[in-house]
Amino acid sequence: MTFLTKFSRSINENSYFCRMKQKIVFIGGPGSGKSTIIRKLESQGFSCMHEISREVTKKAQEEGIEQLFLEKPILFSEKLLEGREKQFLDAEKIDSEYIFFDRGIPSVEAYLQYFKTDYPPIFTEKSKKYRYDKVFHFSPWEEIYESDNERYENFEQAVEINGFLLKNYQNLGYDIVEVPKGTIEERSKFILENLSI
């Protein structure tokens, strides 16, 4: 067996080391369809990191705090930042070429900006440190928007938040791909085709 043959076999056997792991983040205001597409992609076998803000909010409600973000925005945001940083690091251990995130680390900072809340520099530092490979944006869509126990914003507020999200990701140098409105199948297909999957 020649050296070249051995080298080629080694590359094939360890191909997962050669693949570029891509972290794909979905952004957009509340109720724009991100989580629905995350669930769709997960059902197709893709690795996905789910939104954690609902878990943080629900746990606080069980402890008697109706809206933790409104009452203690920095504490809520610190919990989110910690959880999303953990998701980012956990993704490094997953043997998948594509990993999809329902919201990203810079989204935490964008919400604080929307609420005009002063926050420590750690939020910006983490946003710059942990970089995603591709950003897909879901525009506000009133026809599918719903409020519930964990989603306190009305549609007009969701539109405003969306603007802060876009601005923050753009300020961090991200190129943003707009996901067109459509059926779940159409939107998920658009994303996969954009990634050449």
Q: How many CB atoms lie within 10 A of CB 68?
A: 20
Give the Cβ contact number of residue 183 at 10 Å.
8
Give per-residue pLDDT as tens, 1-52.
554 444 344 434 444 344 578 999 999 998 899 999 999 999 999 999 999 8
pTM of the model: 0.84
| pLDDT digits 0-9 by tens, 137-163 | 999 998 887 765 555 678 899 999 999
At 61 the pLDDT is: 78
Across the range 56-77, mean pLDDT stands at: 77
* All structural domains of the chain: 21-194 (3.40.50.300)
**122 or 73, which is more confident:** 122
For the chain, percent of residues with pLDDT exceeding 70: 85
Q: Give the pLDDT confidence of 68-82 residue by residue, as tens digits.
A: 766 788 888 998 999
